[in-house]
Amino acid sequence: MTQNMSRKTISFIKMHGLGNDFILIDDLSKSSSHLSPVTPEVARKICHRRFGVGADQVLWLKAPRGSTARSMPHARMEIFNADGSAAEMCGNGIRAVALYLKGRGSKPGVGEHKGEYKIETLAGLIRVLVLENDLVRVDMGPPRLGGGFEKPEAAGETLTVLGQKLAFYEVSMGNPHAVIFVEDVERYPVDQFGSAIERNPRFPERTNVEFVQVMSPEKLRIRVWERGAGLTLACGTGACAAAVTALATAKVKGKVTVQLPGGDLAIEWAGSGASVLMEGAADEVFRG
């Protein structure tokens, strides 16, 4: 894709995780002085579904900044939403990145970490395991629970939006989420309430919004309004936030299947202090 101002061509890979789609730009082998000209303005143009390639986010891969005594991260992932804003983390996107790294020939960890990739994000270092069937398991780290989880009530905080009083739970998966339980998620006006809640003054950094229907003790159905992207077919961090909230409030138990419009994710969480584990698919669509 050519950006008129810089007259430079950007090579990209179009990928998706359950229909949550991305433009992946690989600058892993470039020095800081030769990076692609990706800015919020360029990201908005690339993501536009009529005048650009079309995507929910841009995933920009760069050489990692940090290292540990035991290992070096494989990549650093910076994320631009469709509106040009930055995102700390993207669960579907990081699965796509891990599969891309495998296809690129990047060697994963060895020994006990065989098949594992370590990726830097604004939410911290994320460990991602590519399984033999090319499903991807992500250690999302421990969630941070906000207000509304206090026992014994655990009834949520309240917010008045569009004239209605809503109960919600605040969860951070490295990025902010407001989780709302509803009776029928397919009929709920997600676009109206999601947009209003995202920009409500209660959330100074804006927020992702999950509308969740409990289908059974092991299954949730959700729709997600993503901060900076709007209504998407899937959201990995949103699925994690929804599952964590349902587990913490005893609405479900054990390993939870989260049904999204684009497909299913499997979420596990053992409780306070434990990491959230997410497993699902991702695919490459085309290159340009």
Q: Of residues 209, 222, 224, 235, which has the active-site annotation?
A: 235
CA-based nearest residue to 245, from 200, 214, 285: 214
Angle, CA of 135, 282 and 171, to the nearest 5°: 90
* Residue 47 appears among annotated catalytic residues: no
SS3 38: coil
Q: Of residues 77, 90, 220, 243, which has the active-site annotation?
A: 90
- Tally the residues of the chain: 288
Structure tokens at 7: 């007259």
* Residue 235 appears among annotated catalytic residues: yes
Residue 257 phi, psi (nearest 5) = -90, 125
Four-residue CA torsion sign, 269, 259, 99, 123: negative
Structure tokens at 117: 């990739």
Which are the catalytic amino acids?
A: 90, 235
